[in-house]
Amino acid sequence: MKRIYISEEYCIGCRLCEIHCLVAHTKSKKILKAFKDEIPKDATAAVLVEEEGHLSFALQCRHCSDAPCIEACMTGAMYRDKKTGAVLHDEDKCVGCWMCIMVCPFGVTAADPATHKITSKCDLCAGQDSPACVANCPNEALVYEDRENES
Amino acid sequence: MALKTYESEFKIVRDDSKCIACQVCVRQCANNAHIYDAEDEKVYADDSKCVNCHRCVSMCPTKALHIEHTPLQFMGTANWTSSAIRNVIKQADTGGVVLTAMGCDKKYPNYWDRILLNASQVTNPSIDPLREPMELKTIIGKKPDKLEFENKGGKVSLKTHLTPQLELSTPIMFSAMSYGSISLNAHKSLARAAFEYGIYWNTGEGGLHKDLKKYKDRTIVQVASGRFGVNSEYLNTSAAVEIKIGQGAKPGIGGHLPGEKVPEEISVTRMIPAGTDALSPAPHHDIYSIEDLKQLVYAIKEATRYTKPVFVKIAAVHNVSSIASGVVRAGADAVVIDGLLGGTGAAPAVMRDNVGIPIELAIAVVDARFRDEGIRNQASIIAAGGFRNSADVIKAIALGADAVYLGTAALVALGCHVCQKCYTGKCNWGIATQDPYLTKRLNPNIGSGRLMNLLRGWSIEIKEMLGGMGINAIESLRGNREHLRGIDLHDKERELLGIKAAGETW
């Protein structure tokens, strides 16, 4: 499947990926409107830049082939899209038990403190040619490729 | 604290209706010109730290930023300009030398803009490069006085021994910029682009990083007065060797890479202790004459078993034609001339802005001198310093250059916005810096692609202009000054350039 790959040597820690991820998951998808009206102040993007010293990289759900979050989810809210292979989250089914957060080896799911439900989980910007974080990375530190089917 | 009596040069204008306080500008500015106040949840600016490099403007996701020259200027006069006053105040404050970078920032006549190209009409057909072959291939190196052949039983072979030559796919190369003055990622971008496009890049005087040895067949290694990183292996990991005598931006003076810019990797490449200043003396201390130069040229030829051409780079100064003639007689396979507008990573502003002569005149007088003395075939002429577009390149070739070196244009292709602050080591574009937080901003995969785009674009334009003149090979234009006409030039300038005035016929 097509996955997001990270080149940490080119991540410049600008966090444009986080900003555009938040915008891509709003209704308007317009950056000014999104930040002025739609995105709550403490919102977390589905991609997070990890940073220490001059080393940084942007991490989002790895869409693991044996995803522990799917195993751990008792309601089936966390599921695999049969067509694309992506690990997705159905907010209607989510009961906010946070088991997915507990088992995720990468720490890339986050919950809304108010509703307790999982609100931040990379969906590879379903329907887009390229996820927003990849499309807006100014230095190609994120690339969206299918490397598994390479000969 | 003494009163600071000059104000910021630039003003950061933030459109609050567009600013989303995402702090990308704060993270991107190595000069700390943007400051986030968590209490106010707002981003503020410190204009005094802004260098007008446009990194924040380019990165701002909502295009809320704009930089302008501060409207507040000294009263000044026609001669006492704002910058003249500012520099006097700065020097009175510090007692220091006014440092700067990049090329000359003083408005001297630009001869490229006063030279016009010819085109074919009716009596000679122009050529469409999209339909007919057009040759840009350029060969650099010493050419024999004559070719002798031998015929052995009907099999003809070349008898004359040919000295080593470089073959370029287009008459452009990347000029010397050292690892130290620019980042390893910048070197990687240049090396890869040169390798893939079939031209050459130049290490500059800072040695060759081990990761770049694989590009050796497209690498020109430089030997300068500091002899950094020079040993037998270095000389042989190359396609050609260049002895640097002078640099257009600062003829007559050496270089100084401060110890802070000599981290481990650079110290290994330059073969000097980490954290020590890398000083390039003004002269080579073993070269005080053409005869001395000849010794070094031949020492290098011996060390490389006569397999590589040796270039000698000089700055365009008043006696450039005599010096260049001496350089050829010292055995150089190519003379590199770096003009008044040549760039640098750091130089005193007085040197950069006042020393040397324009490259246009230097090419013309050197080419004419070599022809007069019958030595034009003995060395190629490579011109450097201030080439801004393909028209400048083609005019240089028509004046007599074999190829040109690009420095600033290549850096601009990599992201440089010519803010002239290379010497601070805080290049926000990841080019003229060794700070690992900044160098990763230049991704060589992107950089090399952009350089190749530039080479491709200029090459297409050169073919178009050649075709317009009815010429199908760059070789036929070389030194063909009949295709040039001068405008707004006085007679002496045209005499030196060897070109007729616009309006004069063949």
Dihedral sign computed on CA atoms, order B266, B270, B275, B281 = negative
Distance in Å, alpha carbon of A71 to nearest chain B alpha carbon: 36
The DSSP H or E segment spanning B225 is none
What is the per-residue pLDDT for A128? Answer: 86
Residue (of B248, B253, B188, B200) closest to B226 by Cα position: B253
User: Nearest 5°: phi and psi at B78?
Assistant: -60, -35
Q: Which of B60, B62, B427, B440 to mutate to test the interface with A (most CBs of A within 10 A)?
A: B440
Which residue among B71, B96, B121 closes a domain?
B96
Could you tell me if residue B349 is inside a domain?
yes
Check whether A151 has a pLDDT greater than 70. Answer: no
Cβ-based contacts of A51 with chain B (< 8 Å)? none
Q: Which domain holds residue B444?
A: 161-501
Tell me if chain B has a CB within 8 Å of the CB of A42.
no
With beta carbons under 8 A apart, name residues in chain A contacting B450. none
Q: What's the token pair of residue B319?
A: 């006696």
Question: Is B83:B28 a contact under the CB 8 Å cutoff?
Answer: no
Residues B172 and B295 in one domain: yes
Domain boundary among B96, B123, B138: B96
Total structural domains within chain A: 2
Looking at the domain assignment, is residue B171 inside a domain?
yes
Average pLDDT over residues A112-129: 86
Give the chain B residue nearest A9 (alpha carbons): B440
Whether residues B192 and B337 share a domain: the answer is: yes
B75 Cβ neighbours under 8 A, 6+ residues apart = none
pLDDT at B248: 96
Q: Determine the Cα–Cα distance for residues A76 and A88; give it in Å rounded to an integer.
A: 10
Q: What is the CATH number of the domain that holds B262?
A: 3.20.20.70
Give yes or no: residues B53 and B181 share one domain.
no
Q: What is the CATH number of the domain that holds B72?
A: 3.30.70.20
Whether residues A111 and A129 share a domain: the answer is no
| Nearest chain B Cα distance for residue A9, angstroms | 6
Q: Residues A47, A15: one domain?
A: yes
For residues A56 and A128, membership in a common domain is answered with yes
- pLDDT digits 0-9 by tens, B266-287: 999 999 999 999 999 999 999 9
Residue span of the structural domain in which A144 resides: 1-60+124-151
ipTM over 0.85: yes
Q: Is residue B124 in a domain?
A: no
Chain A residue with Cα closest to B440:
A10
Q: Are residues B305 and B434 in the same domain?
A: yes
- pLDDT band per the 50, 70, 90 thresholds, residue A126: confident
Domain count, chain B: 2
Question: Does the pLDDT value for residue A140 go beyond 80?
Answer: yes
Nearest residue in chain B measured CA to CA from A10? B440
Give the whole-angstrom CA distance, residue B472 versus residue B468. Answer: 10
Nearest-by-Cβ selection for A13 from B22, B27, B61:
B27
Q: Is A14 on the interface with B (CB under 8 A)?
A: yes
- A5 with A26, same domain? yes
From the list B61, B62, B440, the residue facing A12 with the nearest CB is B440
Q: List Cβ neighbours of B81 (8 Å cut-off, separation of 6 or more).
A: none
Asked if residue A44 and residue A95 are part of one domain, the reply reads: no
- Shared-domain flag, residues A88 and A136: no
Shared domain check, B388 and B288: yes
pLDDT value, residue A28: 96
Mutate to test the interface with A, among B22, B60, B435, B446 (most CBs of A within 10 A): B22
Neighbour order of strands in the sheet with B380-384: B172-174, B403-406, B380-384, B334-338, B310-315, B240-244, B219-223, B201-202
Whether the CB-CB separation of B469 and B118 falls below 8 Å is answered with: yes
Name every chain A residue with its beta carbon within 8 A of the beta carbon of B436: 54
| Same domain membership, residue B418 and residue B326 | yes
Residues B73 and B192 in one domain: no
Alpha-helical segments (H) within B22-111: 24-28, 55-59, 82-94
Q: Note whether A20 and A38 are same-domain residues.
A: yes
Q: Give the list of residues 6+ apart from residue B217 with CB closer than 8 angstroms, or none.
A: B195, B239
pLDDT along chain B (506 residues), means of 10: 86 96 97 97 96 97 96 89 92 94 95 97 93 97 95 93 97 97 97 98 96 98 96 97 97 88 92 92 95 98 98 98 98 98 95 97 98 98 97 98 98 97 95 96 98 98 97 96 97 98 93
Judge if A96 and A134 occupy the same domain. no
3-state SS, residue B382? strand
Answer whether residue B117 is part of any domain.
no
Q: Are residues A8 and A51 in the same domain?
A: yes
Report d(CA B385, CA B112) in Å as an integer. 12
A15 and A88 together in one domain: no
pLDDT digits (tens, 9 = 90+) for A23-77: 999 999 999 999 999 998 888 999 999 999 999 999 999 999 999 999 999 999 9
A13: chain B residues, CB-CB within 8 Å: 27, 437
A83 touches chain B (CB under 8 A): no
Q: Is residue B380 part of a domain?
A: yes
Tell me, yes or no, whether B261 lies in a domain: yes
Q: Tell me, yes or no, whether A7 and A35 share the same domain.
A: yes
Examine residue B344 and state whether it is found in any structural domain, yes or no. yes
Q: What was the pLDDT predicted at B1?
A: 63
With CB atoms and an 8 Å threshold, state whether B27 touches A15: yes
Specify the pLDDT at position B72. 87
**B443/A139 touch (CB, cutoff 8 Å), yes or no:** yes
Cβ separation of B23 and A141 shorter than 8 Å? no
Report the CATH number at residue A100. Answer: 3.30.70.20
pLDDT tens, A66-115? 999 999 999 999 999 998 899 999 999 999 999 999 999 999 998 888 88
**pLDDT for A150 beyond 80:** no
